[in-house]
Structure 1
């Protein structure tokens, strides 16, 4: 199961995007609309801080809602546990690898919207994920990083 074009994402990652969208649309935006309506009723809008701040905040929320809607529409939920070829690195794989200095690193390939480098979750479109795609245990992969190219040997591949 290679991942077809689009924005692959795990079910958990998609649920997080949807929860953020629902929170903004159902709670945050109505709260700001209420503040703006109240402030608009107070007269002169040009010097009304509540009105000006509320309008600015509403534009920010609308921008984020549009961004989340585009991301969710372009997303394709992929279940890594259904991966048939578990001998190679595909979406959702947890990869343990060692660099040329003997430093070991473990990363999981996740959707770009759910990446968290501090937790070892790297985005599908990141340079390291692109270099690892399709690799098997024992393969060497060169990753172009800002500090320079590094070579990694794949030690283990696991799927949920």
Structure 2
């Protein structure tokens, strides 16, 4: 079995201002803080002579490649992203950036914020706009029912609240 993986379809290019700030902070942290520290470690390790058995040198070089790769990816991604920082005129409908409270058949409520694929985190209630649930929610209004597919089958939810901050 080969290592080839077909390229993933790129996610949507929308991001919230908070998401953009988090990505820019990550680039700064990697490039201005962590990379100089790792460079110093590699430099000192290189002075010790035999590099083939020097763990600090080997792992430091590997970490430098990881940092450079991540910074390159983030830089290219930030160039393409469009920051959505305005609230829509019709605030009763679900659009990008909305906080949506949904209710299932058992009456259990869950609140999600529709965000870009670069900032989703379900533990914080941030739902990627490219996910099946978010695609079903977009454009809907309060009291609408949405049906979307999950690995277990179709699921139905009821929109109980939409708000923007």
CA-CA distance at 1:138 after TM superposition: 1.9
Helix, strand or coil for the counterpart of 1:118?
Answer: helix
Q: CA RMSD in A?
A: 1.6
Which digits, 9 at most, give the CA deviation of each residue in 1:108-150, with x for residues without a partner? 1112222121221111111111110000112211121222211
Partner residue in 2 for 1:52: 58
| TM-fit CA distance, 1:100 | 2.5
**Contact 1:6–1:74 under 8 Å retained in 2:** no
Q: Aligned to 1:114, what secondary structure does the other structure show?
A: coil
1:90 corresponds to 2:95: yes
**Which residue is 1:146 aligned to?**
151
Q: 1:16 aligns with which of 22, 29, 42?
A: 22
Instruction: Please state whether the residue corresponding to 1:85 is helix, strand or coil.
Output: coil
Cα separation, 1, equivalents of 2:121 and 2:12: 20
Structure 1: runs of 5 or more not aligned = none
Match of 2:161 among 151, 156, 159: 156
TM-score of the superposed pair, with normalisation by structure 2: 0.87
Large movers: runs of 4+ above 3 Å: none
**Length-normalised TM-score, structure 1:** 0.89
The aligned counterpart of 2:36 is: 30
1-side partners of 2:38 and 2:32: how far apart? 11
The separation in 1 between residues aligned to 2:51 and 2:80, in whole angstroms, is 39
Instruction: Output one character per residue of 1:66-124: Cα deviation in whole Å (capped at 9) or x when no partner.
Output: 221122122111114x2112121000111112222322222111122221212211111
Unaligned runs of 5+ in 2: 1-10
